[in-house]
Chains A and B, each alone.
Chain A
Amino acid sequence: MTLFLLRRLLQGAIVVVVMSLVVFIGVYAIGNPVDILINPDATPEIKQQAIERLGLDRPFLEQYGTFVVRALQGDLGRSFIYDEPALKLILQAMPATLELAIASMVLALVFGIPLGMAAGYWPDSWGANVIMTGSILGFSLPTFWVGLMLIVLFSVELGWLPSGGRGETVVVFGVPLSFLTWNGLTHLFLPALNLALFKISLVIRLTRAGMRETLQQDYIKYARSKGLSRHRVVFVHAFRNILIPIVTVLGLEIGSVIAFAVVTETVFSWPGMGKLIIDSINVLDRPVVVAYLMLTVVMFVVINLLVDLTYSLVDPRVRLGGRPR
């Protein structure tokens, strides 16, 4: 287990290093870093000072070295717009995005698994047809359009739910959270649903396929031959096996949820990283962009590590340290 962890940590570190090189080359080396790192409105003297301070007149490798050293110290530049450290801005916006991402993952599981199991258990029923047609829509309709339609329907027409913002938040361990107040929940629901729609469809398809395949397995027939109830066969014997691919895929999808959050956050004015990065791109606030990229890489590495660990919990065959024979 320790070895496994060490190996994964090392792999993660390599990914971060490679990505930092890409970001560095993309932002610092291509084009004129002076334009990127220094507020274009600054006077020539200030620019000159900054160039020396940032070492932009030094050789490439040395510059990269400085970038890495500063990044390790948490210094990824200052926002031109807010005049605050870019990293701090991103970190402030991160909880909102994570809350949205987790909420939509929960929705994906809560809706996707039961619907997928039903569609897999009664594959020829009309209910299964409805579910599968719905999942095709969920896959193919563009997120921003669905988001707008949700606002039109639930906020404008019916007036049931607010159309944007986070609503009331409660601060837990210094992190503002929406889902703990009723008002916050009503604000969270629509964007989370919007972001979840694609994942719900994905989970439905995965679960249905897994269910159908698993029900064909010998161990299911064997379980039935022992006189187990249908409930136990489906929810213990089949479900535990279906869970493995779902956990894997969904874990890998956390990344894409965070990426897609950019769209949803913009549509619903959800004050997360996605909205921040779009705003920053619009006003060419490049340090924030750099900070966003680096932070997401680190986040992905951590999430993937957690997924691997979860995976090994769900599937005993990949669990390390198991005694063979």
Chain B
Amino acid sequence: MSIPALEVDDLQTHFLTRAGVAKAVNGVSFRVERGEILGLVGESGSGKTVTGFSILGLVDPPGQVVGGTVRVGGDVVSGLDDRAMARIRGKRVSMIFQDPMMTLNPVLRIDTQMIETIRAHETISVTAARARAREALALVGIAAPDERLLAYPHQLSGGMRQRVAIATAMLNRPEVIIADEPTTALDVTIQAQILYEVQELCRRFGTALVWITHDLSVVASLADRIAVMYAGRIVEEGPVDDVLDRPLHPYTRGLIDSVPQPGLRGGRLVPIPGMAPALVGLGEGCAFRARCARASMACASQPALRELRPGQRARCVHPLTVGSHAA
């Protein structure tokens, strides 16, 4: 078996709040192959962003990565000091943030912000770095890249800024890109364009992509595999079509039913009853059981992530559809 581009094993990140310990990431494991796109989905507060930050060692107090191993191309990158981690960030693993309005530094020109990303990792002249930045902008479909390089962020539209962020993430040809809901702030057409382009780029350069979103429809068109997060844990994981067509976990089912289906006009949207649980003081057992129609006494102890179909795993005592499809 080839070495995965990114391998996360039993990652644990806690926030020490006044109310107690919030286990924002509670034993998350997954792997992404070269050129593969993993969709990481879940409701707000389920720990998607913290997972991304934990991989890059960017969790700030009161948060702390307290356990787990992260490997990039087989090399362990967890537990490194800040200097060593800085050599990984932006070079082997890049991140694209959620809000394009807030992530580019407002007082620095685009060229400054792109060139520094290259020069942080290799000795190269400013001219050569600029040429590469220009090329990267052209690659993500920005017209007149020379002009854009001289612009300040506020002179660009939201979609353009996010393209800049994507181009910046691609600059050093990283093995992994973590994209944290990078298109949610944009309108649908631009979102679709950007999704398409990113997919193309990752296939072309063999970049592994972790696409964080709470929007299942985005994942359906983009990802190869999908991992569903709930209260700091991955509750279901598998190939995108399997998970979306035949979910095993009741929470995944709920997510799917709460998304408007283009094919099913007039079909009723069913929101998941109840609210995402508070993380502090979350006891043992399945975190979803307060909202789950199938819950039983057995759900009071934490279910393991089991492979219930080839390549598809779920963390549920009473998974859906397995019985009916078992034959």
Q: Does B17 contact A (CB under 8 A)?
A: no
Q: Does A25 contact B (CB under 8 A)?
A: no
CB-CB nearest in chain B for A219: B105
Interface of chain B residues 202 through 249 with chain A (CB within 8 A): none
Please, how many angstroms separate the alpha-carbon atoms of A227 and B121 in the complex? Answer: 8
From B86, B155, B165, contact of A227 by CB (8 A):
B86
Given A226-B117, A227-B86: A218 and B155 interface contact (C-beta under 8 Å): no
**Cβ contacts A207-243/B at 8 Å (1 or 0 each):** 0000000000111011111111110100011001100
Residues of A within 8 A of B91 (CB): 227
Q: A219-B106, A224-B89, A237-B105 are in contact. List 20 more A-B contacts (CB 8 A).
A: A217-B102, A218-B103, A221-B58, A222-B104, A224-B58, A224-B86, A225-B90, A226-B89, A227-B86, A227-B87, A227-B89, A228-B90, A240-B108, A241-B106, A244-B107, A314-B107, A316-B106, A316-B154, A323-B151, A324-B155
* Contact yes or no, A315 B88, CB < 8 A: no
Please, how many angstroms separate the alpha-carbon atoms of A222 and B49 in the complex? Answer: 13
Interface of chain B residues 44 through 97 with chain A (CB within 8 A): 53, 56, 58, 60, 82, 86-91, 94-95, 97
From A222, A232, A315, A325, contact of B157 by CB (8 A):
A325
Please, how many angstroms separate the alpha-carbon atoms of A229 and B89 in the complex? Answer: 11
* Contact yes or no, B107 A315, CB < 8 A: yes
What are 20 A-B contacts defined by CB distance under 8 Å?
A219-B105, A221-B53, A221-B60, A225-B90, A225-B94, A225-B95, A226-B89, A226-B120, A226-B168, A227-B89, A227-B117, A227-B120, A228-B116, A236-B116, A316-B154, A317-B106, A317-B107, A322-B154, A324-B155, A325-B155
**Residue count of chain B within 8 Å CB distance of chain A:** 35
Q: Does B197 contact A (CB under 8 A)?
A: no
Distance (whole angstroms) from the CB of B167 to the closest CB of chain A? 12
Interface of chain A residues 225 through 280 with chain B (CB within 8 A): 225-230, 232, 236-237, 240-241, 244
Q: Does B9 contact A (CB under 8 A)?
A: no
* Contact yes or no, A225 B89, CB < 8 A: yes
Distance (whole angstroms) from the CB of A190 to the closest CB of chain B? 37
* Contact yes or no, B152 A219, CB < 8 A: no
The 10 closest A-B pairs by CB, nearest first: A227-B90, A226-B90, A227-B89, A218-B102, A316-B152, A222-B103, A219-B105, A225-B95, A226-B117, A240-B107
Q: Does B99 contact A (CB under 8 A)?
A: yes
* Contact yes or no, A223 B105, CB < 8 A: yes
Q: Does B156 contact A (CB under 8 A)?
A: yes
CB-CB nearest in chain B for A223: B105
Residues of B within 8 A of A316 (CB): 106-107, 109, 152, 154
